[in-house]
Amino acid sequence: MIVTGAGRGIGREHALEFARQGAKVVVNDLGAETDGTGSSMGPAGEVVEEIRAIGGEAVVNGDDVSDGEGAERLVRTAIETFGGLDTLVNNAGILRDRMLVNMSLDEWDAVIRVHLRGTFAPTRAALQYWRDRSKGGETNDARIVNTTSPSGIYGNVGQTNYGAAKAGIAAFTVISAMEVGRYGVTVNAIAPSALTRMTENLGMGKRAAEVPEGQWNELSPDNIAPLVVWLGSSESGGVTGRVFNVRGGHISVAEGWVEGPVVHQEKRWDPAELSTVVPGLVGQAAPNANMWGLRG
């Protein structure tokens, strides 16, 4: 199996928990800073050593998951090292937060590339392998678990680039699940909330520091891994195309866009009419959810 962005934070905990449950893990990470700059094989190598220390099997991969050839090499690493691929967890990401009016094109492009293209490219490479197996008469029982965010499905100020990428991943999850079931593949996503390098400046660092030492901390990134490991297992075969909120011991299903209040007439609308129509529709509609997915 593969976990991208597995050198630190949530991805690290995924890799460790998969290994504890007996999976053979390709630990992918560039070892970059939170903004995507720099690189180091150190963090991924440390995770591999941790896995080996508990008797597991793991290998480092430092490919850029947003690069098509890099994603293909990543998938080949799993197949050539462990004899196949059953699970792909797309977790790699960066942050370049800024208010929209001040955001540069590079800050937009970098975040969209790593998150959205960095989910697409490994998924495509893995699906080519599973499709070829299916066409060859072999049976797959394969899993893809993507990583969206409350910022993407609910919204957060200062994160138009990150949120747009994460919303795209949620849509990507739903649509790809429709397409790949025939190959024996399920696709789901999580929207996690936990304390990591990427969230410590968003208020979570202060909240985590308030938890007494030795007490269970709902913001710990290791709380996210159990759901991801389950979604990556054979046990989850009946679940696909869903997005799950997860934080601490809390798991919920995120319910996507639905049609709300409606007006209908059998002719074209005149713009002048809509001043008395649209505000009424909005007044009847449920408000957008907050960052916790709650209304009101």
For the record, the structure tokens of 169 come out as 């991943």
Question: Could you give the CA distance from residue 219 to residue 21 in angstroms, rounded to a whole number?
Answer: 22
Contact 216, 4 (CB under 8 A): no
For the record, the structure tokens of 38 come out as 């720099």
Q: What are phi and psi of 10, to 5 degrees?
A: -60, -45
For the record, the structure tokens of 29 come out as 């990470």
Beta bridge partners of 190: 147, 244
Question: Could you give the CA distance from residue 34 to residue 236 in angstroms, rounded to a whole number?
Answer: 32
Q: What pairing do the DSSP bridges indicate for beta strands 185-192 and 142-147? A: parallel
Question: Could you give the CA distance from residue 103 to residue 100 in angstroms, rounded to a whole number?
Answer: 5
Q: Which of 156, 7, 171, 159 has its CA nearest to residue 92?
A: 7
From residue 263, alpha-carbon distances to 102, 230, 275, 287 in Å are 38, 43, 13, 18
3 state SS of 206: helix
Query: How many of the other CB atoms lie within 10 Å of CB of 20?
Result: 14
> At CA 65, angle to CA 63 and CA 71, rounded to 5?
80
Unique residue bearing structure tokens 């800050």:
107
Catalytic residues: 149, 162, 166
Q: Which of 134, 67, 92, 128 has its CA nearest to residue 2?
A: 92
